[in-house]
């Protein structure tokens, strides 16, 4: 399977900054590299990203969406609008959606269904908290989040998974190779072959080579380190070389 690097910009980059990022990424990355890169801009900068990416193989997606395409949902973003703008992916259940915005597994399942109906690939994010890991609940938690999040998925329609331990996100504390390999092996058993499983949580160019060599690691979902073109590309290149 190819190795993918996806940048989750979170609430960073205005439309102008986003367009500048894409222009430099397009000139720095080869066509072959571009095909394995994805960016997740904040919704209000997505239009600028989509415009810059016309004709490029770099993919982009929403960071979150509502499960209905329209209606009385003040402040939400429609998956149909992402589709019309050219999104190929959308994150579902990122740790910050679960823990800061209190979204539930039931909400994730509906979002997965809505996205697949529009042929947008959902990237379902799962991961245990530090407490859950200390209490030996990691496997139960990530398996449960995966099964529930996919409970309304349409058989045969593509989706991706991202394993992101909550305690590793934005903390500089990357999971150990053993922890990553164990979690990915479990997720592989749950979803089967052919589903890209990304690792996320403090991925940087200094640790990506080690992680890219692990079984069942098909790429990375990168937060902080994806905000600078050179570092984002360096993560992709060091990972690719390490394989
Ligand atoms: P981080 O974030 O790389 O800054 O730890 C990863 C994520 O939240 O997807």
pLDDT confidence band for 239 (50 / 70 / 90):
very high
pLDDT digits (tens, 9 = 90+) for 153-203: 999 999 999 999 999 999 999 999 999 999 999 999 999 999 999 999 999
Q: Is 224 in the pocket of ligand 1 (CB under 6 A)?
A: yes
Q: Is 208 in the pocket of ligand 1 (CB under 6 A)?
A: no
Instruction: Catalogue the E-assigned strands of 109-176.
Output: 121-126, 160-163
Count the neighbouring beta carbons within 10 Å of the beta carbon of residue 152. 16
Closest CA to 93 of 176, 185, 160: 160
Mean pLDDT of 201-213: 97
Mean pLDDT of 28-36: 97
pLDDT confidence band for 28 (50 / 70 / 90):
very high
pLDDT score recorded for residue 94: 98
Q: Identify the helix (H) or strand (E) that includes residue 18.
A: helix 15-28
pLDDT score recorded for residue 150: 98
Cβ–Cβ < 8 Å for 231, 224: no
Relative to the CA of 10, which ligand 1 atom is closest?
8
Which of 6, 123, 164, 208 to probe ligand 1 with, by most ligand atoms within 8 A of CB?
Answer: 164
pLDDT score recorded for residue 188: 98
Full-model pTM: 0.98
pLDDT confidence band for 79 (50 / 70 / 90):
very high
pLDDT score recorded for residue 93: 98
């Amino acid at each position: 399977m190819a190795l993918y690097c996806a940048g989750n910009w979170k609430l960073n980059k205005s439309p102008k900054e986003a367009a500048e990022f894409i222009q430099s990424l397009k000139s720095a990355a080869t066509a072959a590299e571009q095909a394995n890169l994805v960016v997740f801009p904040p919704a209000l900068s997505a239009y600028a990203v989509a415009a810059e990416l016309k004709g490029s193989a770099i993919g982009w997606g929403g960071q979150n969406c509502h499960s209905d395409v329209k209606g009385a949902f003040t402040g939400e973003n429609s998956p149909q609008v992402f589709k019309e703008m050219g999104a190929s992916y959308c994150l579902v259940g990122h740790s910050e959606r679960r823990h800061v915005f209190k979204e539930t597994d039931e909400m994730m399942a509906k979002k997965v269904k809505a996205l697949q109906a529009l042929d947008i690939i959902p990237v379902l994010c799962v991961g245990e908290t530090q407490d859950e890991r200390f209490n030996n609940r990691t496997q139960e938690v990530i398996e449960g989040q995966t099964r529930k999040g996919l409970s309304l998925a349409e058989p045969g329609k593509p989706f991706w998974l991202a394993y992101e331990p909550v305690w590793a996100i934005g903390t500089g504390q990357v999971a150990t190779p053993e922890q990553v390999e164990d979690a990915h092996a479990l997720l592989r058993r749950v979803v089967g072959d052919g589903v890209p499983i990304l690792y996320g949580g403090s991925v940087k160019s200094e640790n990506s080579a080690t992680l890219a060599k692990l079984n069942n690691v098909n790429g990375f979902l990168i937060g902080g380190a994806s905000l600078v073109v050179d570092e984002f590309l360096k993560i992709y290149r060091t990972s690719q070389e390490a394989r």
